[in-house]
C-alpha cells in the first residue's frame, strides 16, 4: 500500500509537473505570440519620420521665416507625412491628397478640433467663434447660424448694395490718381475692409469711422507672430514676448467698437437692419427662446471677429496676387478684360449677376489661389484621440498641418505647376470648385472644418476684381519689376506691395463717379 501510495504520489507529481510544463509552454507561446503582435503593432504605429532637432528647442532654430517652404523641403525628404518638434510640441505635416484624405474625410471627426495659438484664442474670445472653437454641439450651432442666417444667398443678395457702394468709392479714389502709381494692396485692403465693415453693421457714405486698416494689420501681425508661449506651454504664463498682452489691449479696442454698434442697434438707430447688414440679425439671436438657435453675446462677438478678420485680409491679399499675376501675363489680362467688356458692356457697371458668366475671370481667381493660397498651411487641426494616418501613429493633441501650398505645386499632380495658367480650370475635364472635393485643390480646406465664409469671400473677391479690371487698364511703372516673393504669416502676402498705374478703359466719366 505504501508502495502504491508512493506510486500514486509519484504519478501525481508527474502529472503536476507535466501540467506545469504545459502551462509554462502555453504562457511562453502566448507571450511570444503577443510580443510578435505588439512588435508588429508598434512597427505599424511608429511615429512619423522627421528631422532631428536640438535638445529642448527641437527644430525651431532651423525653421526659417517661410514655414510652408521649409515644410515642403522636409516633405520631399521624409515623405507625405512627417513630424517635427518645435519646442516641446509635436507638429505633424501632411502633404499629399492620399494622406490628407484620411485627415479631412475618413477621420474628419477625430481631426475636427483646432489647435489655436494663444494670440488667436484671445482674439476670438477664448475660441468662442467658428474658426478656432473645438468641434461639438455649440460649434455646429454657430456654423449653422453663420452659414444659413448670415451667408445665405438671400442675405448676401440683400447686402450687395453695401458692397457696391464701398467699391464705387474705391473706384472714385483710384480715378483721382489716374496716371500716377497706385499701391494696389492698399487700395484692395481699404476697399475690402470698408466693404466688410459695411456688411457687418452698415457704414456711413463717406466711409468714416475708426482706422480699421491699422487695427486689422496689427491683429494679423500678432496672430501670425511665432510665440514662445505656443512652443513651450509651461512658459506661457510669462508671455515672454508680450504678444498676449498686446492682443488683449487690441481686443479692448474692438470690444469698444462692437459695444457702440450693438447699442446703436438696440436703440433702433440703425433702422432695424433693413440695409442688409449682418449685425442686427446676430443681435436678434441673443435672447432667442430656443437654445438650439440662440447665441451668447460672447459668441456673437467671436463670429464678428471671424467675419471682420477672415473676410478682409485674405480677400485683399488674393486681390493683390491676382493683379500681380495678370500684369506679368498680359495675354491673360487682355482675355479677362475682353470677357468683361462682352459680358458687362462698355457703358454699364459690373453687377454680381454678371459674375457667373465670367468664366475666364473665375479661372484667374482659381489659378491665383492655387499658386498663392491665402492660408498655405490652413488652420491647424488637433486630433481628439490617438489615431493612425499614413501608416504612422499620430498622438492625441498633436498639431496637424495640411501643406496646401505644397499640394498645389506638386508636379505629380499638376502640369507645369509653377506656371500661371487659368485655362487649366476651364478644360471641363474636372469640375473644379472651392469645396475641397478634389483634394488636389483645397485653398479653403475640406471637410467639416472647411472655411464657412466661402460664399462671401468668393463674391467679394470676384466682384472687386471684376470692377477694377473692367474700368481700368493697369501698367507697371517704368523701371519697376513685379516680384512674386512671399511673406509667410497666418495669411501669405506679397513681400513687396504691388504698384501699378491706372488709366480709364472707357470715356464715360459717369462710370467712375
**What is the CB neighbour count within 10 angstroms for residue 164?**
17
CB distance 218 to 112 below 8 Å? no
User: Residue 127: which residues within 8 A CB-CB, separation 6 or more?
Assistant: 114, 116, 120, 121, 133, 134, 302
C-alpha cell at 229: 508661449
Is 451 annotated as contributing to ligand binding?
yes
Side-chain-facing half-sphere of 286: CA atoms under 13 Å: 15
Closest C-alpha to 284, from 292, 276, 293: 293
Q: Based on C-alpha coordinates, what's the Rg of the chain? A: 29
Give me 439's grid cell. Answer: 483634394
DSSP state of 204: -
Q: What is the DSSP letter of 103?
A: I
C-alpha triplet 302, 305, 306: angle, nearest 5°: 90
Contact 200, 307 (CB under 8 A): yes
Residue tagged 489691449 (cell numbers): 249
Q: Which residue has the cell 456654423?
A: 143
Please give the Cα distance from 398 to 71 (Å, whole number): 16
End-to-end CA distance of the chain: 126
Contact 351, 161 (CB under 8 A): no
Burial of residue 57 (number of CB atoms within 10 Å: 0-12, 13-18, 19+): middle
| Alpha carbon distance 444, 464 (integer Å) | 19
Contact indicator for 258, 265 with CB cutoff of 8 Å: no
Residue 277 cell numbers, joined:
447688414
Exposure string over 4-32, b if 16+ CB within 10 A, otherwise e: eeeeeeeeeeeeeeeeeeeeeeeeeeeee
DSSP codes, 347-373: SS---GGGGGG-HHHHHHHHHHHHHS-
C-alpha distances (whole Å) from 42 to each of 35, 78, 316, 360 are: 10, 19, 48, 52
- Helical H segments across 225-296, by residue range: 228-231, 243-266, 279-283
User: How far is Cα 197 from Cα 166, in angstroms, rounded to an integer?
Assistant: 10
Which residues participate in the annotated binding site? 451
Annotated binding-site members for heme: 451
Amino acid at each position: 500500500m505504501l508502495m502504491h501510495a508512493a506510486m500514486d504520489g509519484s504519478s501525481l507529481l508527474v502529472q503536476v509537473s507535466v501540467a506545469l510544463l504545459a502551462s509554462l509552454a502555453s504562457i511562453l507561446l502566448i507571450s511570444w505570440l503577443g510580443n510578435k503582435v505588439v512588435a508588429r503593432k508598434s512597427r505599424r504605429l511608429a511615429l512619423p519620420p522627421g528631422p532631428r532637432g536640438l535638445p529642448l528647442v527641437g527644430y525651431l532654430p532651423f525653421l526659417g521665416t517661410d514655414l510652408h517652404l521649409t515644410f515642403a523641403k522636409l516633405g520631399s525628404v521624409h515623405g507625405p507625412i512627417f513630424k517635427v518638434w518645435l519646442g516641446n510640441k509635436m507638429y505633424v505635416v501632411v502633404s499629399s491628397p492620399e494622406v490628407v484624405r484620411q485627415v479631412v474625410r475618413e477621420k474628419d471627426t477625430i481631426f475636427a478640433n483646432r489647435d489655436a495659438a494663444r494670440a488667436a484664442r484671445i482674439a476670438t474670445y477664448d475660441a468662442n467663434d467658428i474658426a478656432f472653437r473645438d468641434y461639438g454641439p455649440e460649434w455646429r450651432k454657430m456654423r449653422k447660424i453663420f452659414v444659413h442666417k448670415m451667408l445665405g444667398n438671400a442675405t448676401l443678395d440683400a447686402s450687395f448694395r453695401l458692397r457696391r457702394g464701398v467699391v464705387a468709392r474705391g473706384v472714385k479714389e483710384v480715378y483721382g490718381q489716374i496716371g500716377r502709381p497706385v499701391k494696389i494692396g492698399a487700395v484692395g485692403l481699404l476697399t475690402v475692409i470698408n466693404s466688410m465693415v459695411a456688411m457687418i453693421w452698415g457704414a456711413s457714405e463717406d466711409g468714416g469711422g475708426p482706422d480699421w486698416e491699422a487695427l486689422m494689420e496689427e491683429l494679423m501681425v500678432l496672430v501670425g507672430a511665432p510665440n514662445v508661449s505656443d512652443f513651450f506651454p509651461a512658459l506661457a504664463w510669462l508671455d515672454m514676448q508680450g504678444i498676449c498682452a498686446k492682443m488683449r489691449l487690441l481686443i479692448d479696442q474692438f470690444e469698444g467698437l462692437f459695444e457702440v454698434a450693438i447699442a446703436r442697434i438696440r436703440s433702433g438707430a440703425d433702422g432695424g437692419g433693413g440695409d442688409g447688414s449682418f449685425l442686427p440679425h446676430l443681435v436678434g439671436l441673443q435672447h432667442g427662446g430656443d437654445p438650439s438657435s440662440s447665441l451668447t453675446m460672447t459668441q456673437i462677438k467671436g463670429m464678428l471677429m471671424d467675419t471682420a478678420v477672415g473676410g478682409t485680409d485674405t480677400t485683399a491679399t488674393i486681390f493683390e496676387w491676382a493683379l500681380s499675376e495678370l500684369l506679368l501675363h498680359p495675354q491673360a489680362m487682355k482675355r479677362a478684360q475682353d470677357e468683361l467688356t462682352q459680358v458687362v458692356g462698355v457703358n454699364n457697371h459690373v453687377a454680381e449677376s454678371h459674375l457667373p458668366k465670367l468664366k475666364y475671370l473665375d479661372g484667374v481667381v482659381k489659378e491665383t489661389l492655387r499658386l498663392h493660397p491665402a492660408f498655405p498651411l490652413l488652420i491647424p487641426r488637433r486630433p481628439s484621440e490617438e489615431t493612425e494616418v499614413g501608416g504612422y501613429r499620430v498622438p492625441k493633441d498633436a498639431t496637424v498641418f495640411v501643406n496646401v501650398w505644397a499640394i498645389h505645386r506638386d508636379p505629380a499632380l499638376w502640369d507645369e505647376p509653377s506656371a500661371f495658367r487659368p485655362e487649366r480650370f476651364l478644360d471641363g475635364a474636372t469640375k473644379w470648385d472651392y469645396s475641397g472635393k478634389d483634394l488636389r485643390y483645397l485653398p479653403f480646406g475640406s471637410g467639416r472644418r472647411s472655411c464657412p465664409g466661402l460664399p462671401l469671400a468668393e463674391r467679394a473677391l470676384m466682384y472687386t476684381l471684376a470692377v477694377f479690371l473692367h474700368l481700368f487698364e493697369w501698367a507697371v511703372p517704368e523701371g519697376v519689376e513685379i516680384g512674386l516673393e512671399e511673406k509667410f504669416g497666418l495669411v501669405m502676402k506679397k513681400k513687396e506691395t504691388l504698384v501699378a498705374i491706372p488709366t480709364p478703359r472707357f470715356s464715360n466719366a459717369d462710370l467712375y463717379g
